[in-house]
Structure 1
């Protein structure tokens, strides 16, 4: 189903190193934002089902943010993964690309929680990227990207799983900011060390079709902490392994020290590339994901630049609509168009009303399916869930077609 001619999608700048969108929202009056919570929070409220007031929203969906980490980049790090002459060169390039998907975090604002069946389809040169929200509770997002020139395929299936440090309770990702601020307001005891770690469950699989190699990648965790200083950081160990060559990589993302929150760097990355069988370290990796990262070849002692964040994720271009006639009604930029337009002009009453309309439409569709005994199925993916709760997503089509929304290469 395509959109009505009268509906105009709202496309906003990607989350880049300059944090342009974040700067606009951080300038909002903090008291005004906190007071807006009380329209949603009351005695006996179930915080696991609350929606963020629009003052706490970035004008884009989580689905768009996932897609941006793939298609919004200066240069072609993904395509370069196929250019290495050896498996060691190729996994080194995969490590650089994996680091490039790490984007700035903002404490205090969050993208919209994608609705069931929401899609996001964008092209950049020969790279076509398609995402679909394949589950709402729990939230599960699927991504399929293909590049016909580089002969590369990317498949993601991931779901954020909040895990609390401290005496807190389980909530969905979209409510993290509400809970953190409410905790501060209510002065709950035992705050020291409290925070939220959203573990990204699922997998990322990168296929270098020209070389017959498949790489499995994990993602760092998102940590939102209260004390000693509020903030948001990437943390944990990313594992990358090539099933065919036996080569593996480990990248450790470091958060600040718990002592006054002043120790170390919140963007430091240390890691290595090694062989699965011998465990011998072949290359060492060191630096900052928002700065420069170097790689040292232990055989030759040579140190070279692996990744430069300023060159890769700064001053990124905003996608634009090229073919409105084939834009799906489920496209993120269409679903949230009225909400985003109101957020950008800081019309909070208008944004709240537009958001309510989106939520009511979803409840209406869910009720219709339940009344008719209809089981919802994704349009672009097949999904399975194991007994342990792990999800797998399989693209229905072998290639992603060019998108109506594009970004300059």
Structure 2
């Protein structure tokens, strides 16, 4: 879906593709949620076709994840960062609902209305002629997803998520809860020891793949150090 973001014939078409792709990044609960927080410097480096993606945990308190994705063939680059923002909006309303508007930035005229559910169908309504079209079908997008494969195990970084939490995840899958807890504690204690070492030496930690800055006005800025993301040893199918 990301490759479609650069194929539209007009800015509107390309923006609609970006909206559809953003919706696709929300996954239903069937994919599960890892019961642990990323460690500082944890990475995930994966490729699919010509698209190469690199994520790095650039802050632990607060938790911030930076992402850099490039596709040289399609001339696509994405730089993005994420951090949870706690909010309390009350108990009313429907869950899994997507609603929004696409408007012209100069005239503020609403061009399209977006409506649907991120776990099923999301439609786009053209306000000029009231025509509707589906821009996202969760079943169609998710049904073909498969677990990634490791193409080159020796090239997997020790900071790779699957490597860091491999033993913990395996014990969880085996329902060996006590062993999973112990494996998780080993990872966490290693991080505490590294923190103590840095503090004793008066050193600060810096990300390996991004430069970061923060301001109250702009929030977090995570800029990739390298222009292109290299091919990854892990392949998404």
Into which bin does the TM-score normalised by the smaller protein fall?
Answer: over 0.9
Given candidates 126, 136, 141, the residue that maps to 2:65 is: 141
**Equivalence map 1:211-230=2 (5 Å):** none
Deviations 1:133-159 (A, max 9, x none): 111111111111111222111111121
Is residue 266 from structure 1 mapped to residue 108 from structure 2 by the alignment?
Answer: no
SS in 2 for 1:364: helix
- The alpha carbon displacement at 1:121 in A equals 0.4
SS in 2 for 1:96: helix
Given candidates 70, 82, 86, the residue that maps to 2:6 is: 82
Deviations 1:15-59 (A, max 9, x none): xxxxxxxxxxxxxxxxxxxxxxxxxxxxxxxxxxxxxxxxxxxxx
Deviations 1:220-260 (A, max 9, x none): xxxxxxxxxxxxxxxxxxxxxxxxxxxxxxxxxxxxx63xx
Distance 1:315 1:83 in 2: 22
Distance 1:389 1:114 in 2: 24
Equivalence for 2:121: 292
- The alpha carbon displacement at 1:399 in A equals 0.6
Is residue 115 from structure 1 mapped to residue 39 from structure 2 by the alignment?
Answer: yes
Inter-CA distance 154–277: structure 2 relative to 1 (3 Å threshold): same
Given candidates 57, 69, 84, the residue that maps to 1:160 is: 84
Structure 2 unaligned spans of 5+: none
- The alpha carbon displacement at 1:389 in A equals 8.4
Is residue 368 from structure 1 mapped to residue 197 from structure 2 by the alignment?
Answer: yes
Deviations 1:260-281 (A, max 9, x none): xxxx641222222111121111
Distance 2:144 2:35 in 1: 20
- The alpha carbon displacement at 1:163 in A equals 3.7
- The alpha carbon displacement at 1:318 in A equals 0.2
Inter-CA distance 81–377: structure 2 relative to 1 (3 Å threshold): same
Equivalence for 2:236: 407
Equivalence for 1:319: 148
Is residue 355 from structure 1 mapped to residue 198 from structure 2 by the alignment?
Answer: no
TM-score normalised per structure 2: 0.92
Equivalence for 1:275: 104
State the superposition RMSD in angstroms: 2.0
SS in 2 for 1:328: coil
Distance 1:109 1:277 in 2: 41
Distance 1:354 1:376 in 2: 24
Deviations 1:318-345 (A, max 9, x none): 0111011111111110001111111110
Deviations 1:177-231 (A, max 9, x none): xxxxxxxxxxxxxxxx6xxxxxxxxxxxxxxxxxxxxxxxxxxxxxxxxxxxxxx
Distance 1:317 1:270 in 2: 29
Inter-CA distance 398–303: structure 2 relative to 1 (3 Å threshold): same
Aligned length: 236
Distance 2:33 2:106 in 1: 44
Distance 2:2 2:33 in 1: 29
TM-score normalised per structure 1: 0.55
Distance 2:234 2:20 in 1: 26
Equivalence for 2:131: 302
